[in-house]
């Protein structure tokens, strides 16, 4: 992946961790933005990248009034955190929390709090994301999985396999497009339609309302080996169907969540919405510390492939109206109606 390709991916993901790393400008509007800007996504052919605000301004672009890229980094705290991000990105051995805090002139606890407020991730999570992205890039460029692992900054292959396990594919399987990965699956009928459930050894990786079953799994995991459900997955499918038919609080299933760092933050926040409650996209964006990222939050919700267990159906428009739902607005309304009844019963 080239630098521009990596930057474009960051723009598509609205990756807040890349704020301060580069600026992107849209030729058709004459505006430049931060990577995390929640404005409508431009076409790739209309986008240029710049290292600094000054470069974008010299090229004739003006600052976006939504994300205010010309004001990013104007506070001492932001400058300190930007330096820390650069160290985490560029140093062969990422500094630990104590070292980062000492460089910033802050206590470790205060540094951690400031870092998470500005970046949206803890320093440790940010460093893990950087290293994982470097590994994904190197796997596409290297002929050797082992070389890619150590070039990305991992001290052992076991750590790399553990990190990549959270994305549902080991480094070797990732390099080969998922070949060799085992995904067990089952279909079941619920009151709101048939569902298909898939799971790796790490947890449930797919829950969708669909009548296509195995065909849908092959679309999501084209090179994986598909196997029928074992006893553990069969029990989990029963729990999911029960959650659809008779919703209850406290559902806890092992999940193999696969997404970008931003998407994972949104999906985690979705799981924190109480049964019988709804929030707006703007409220959810605020909850993850990105109040201007409502569009990006909506995009992350749309990419959720774990229906009901990651309850994106509980997010609505600011007016309270239902917005689009991957599995149908009528089904979204039905889920909310069922959950609302449970809430009233428990009062």
Full 3-state SS string of 40-92: CCCCHHHEEEECCHHHHHHCCCEECCCCCCCCCCCCHHHHHHHHHHHHHHHCC
- The three-class DSSP label of residue 30 is coil
What are the domain boundaries of the chain? 3-63, 76-120, 127-175, 182-245, 261-346
Model confidence, pTM: 0.54
CATH number belonging to the domain at 261-346, selected among 3.50.50.60, 3.20.20.70, 2.160.10.10, 1.10.10.10: 1.10.10.10
- Is-catalytic flag, 312? yes
Looking at residue 168, its pLDDT comes to 47
pLDDT at residue 91 is higher than 90? no
CATH of domain 3-63: 3.40.10.10
Selecting among 33, 67, 85, 301, the annotated active-site residue is 33
DSSP per residue over 206-229, as a string?
EEEE-S-THHHHHHHSTTSEEEE-
% of residues, the chain, pLDDT over 70: 80
CATH architecture, domain 182-245: 2-Layer Sandwich (3.30)
Looking at residue 27, its pLDDT comes to 93
Whats the size of the chain, residue-wise?
347
The predicted-structure confidence for 280-295, as pLDDT tens digits, reads as follows 999 998 888 888 788 8
The predicted-structure confidence for 13-49, as pLDDT tens digits, reads as follows 877 767 777 899 999 999 999 988 878 889 999 999 9
């Amino acid at each position: 992946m080239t630098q521009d390709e990596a930057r474009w991916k960051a723009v598509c993901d609205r990756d807040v961790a890349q704020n301060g790393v580069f600026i992107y400008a849209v030729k058709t509007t004459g505006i430049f933005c931060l990577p995390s800007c929640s404005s409508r996504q431009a076409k790739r052919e209309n986008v240029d990248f710049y290292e600094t605000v000054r470069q974008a301004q010299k090229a004739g672009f003006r600052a976006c009034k939504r994300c205010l890229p010309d004001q990013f980094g104007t506070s001492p705290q932001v400058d300190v955190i930007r330096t820390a991000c650069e160290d985490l990105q560029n140093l062969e051995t990422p500094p630990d929390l104590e070292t980062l805090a000492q460089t910033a002139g802050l206590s470790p606890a205060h540094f951690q709090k400031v870092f998470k407020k500005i970046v949206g991730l803890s320093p440790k999570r940010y460093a893990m994301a950087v290293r994982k992205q470097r590994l994904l890039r190197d796997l596409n460029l290297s002929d050797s999985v082992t070389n890619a692992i150590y070039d990305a900054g991992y001290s052992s292959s076991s750590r790399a396999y553990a990190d990549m396990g959270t994305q549902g594919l080991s480094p070797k399987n990732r390099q080969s497009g998922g070949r060799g990965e085992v995904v067990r699956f089952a279909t079941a009928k619920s009151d709101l339609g048939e569902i298909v459930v898939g799971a790796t050894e790490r947890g449930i990786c797919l829950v969708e309302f669909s009548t296509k079953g195995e065909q849908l799994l092959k679309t999501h995991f084209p090179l994986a080996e598909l196997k029928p459900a074992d006893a553990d997955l069969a029990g989990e499918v029963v729990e999911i169907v029960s959650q659809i038919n008779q919703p209850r609080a406290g559902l806890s299933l092992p999940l193999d969540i696969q997404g970008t760092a931003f998407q994972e933050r949104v999906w985690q926040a979705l799981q924190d919405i109480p049964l019988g409650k709804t929030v707006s996209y703007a409220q959810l964006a605020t909850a993850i510390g990105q109040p201007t990222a409502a569009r990006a939050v909506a995009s992350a919700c749309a990419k959720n492939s774990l229906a009901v267990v990651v309850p994106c159906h509980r997010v609505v428009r600011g007016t309270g109206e239902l917005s689009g739902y991957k599995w149908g607005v009528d089904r979204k309304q039905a889920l909310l109606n069922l959950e609302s009844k449970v809430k009233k019963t428990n009062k």
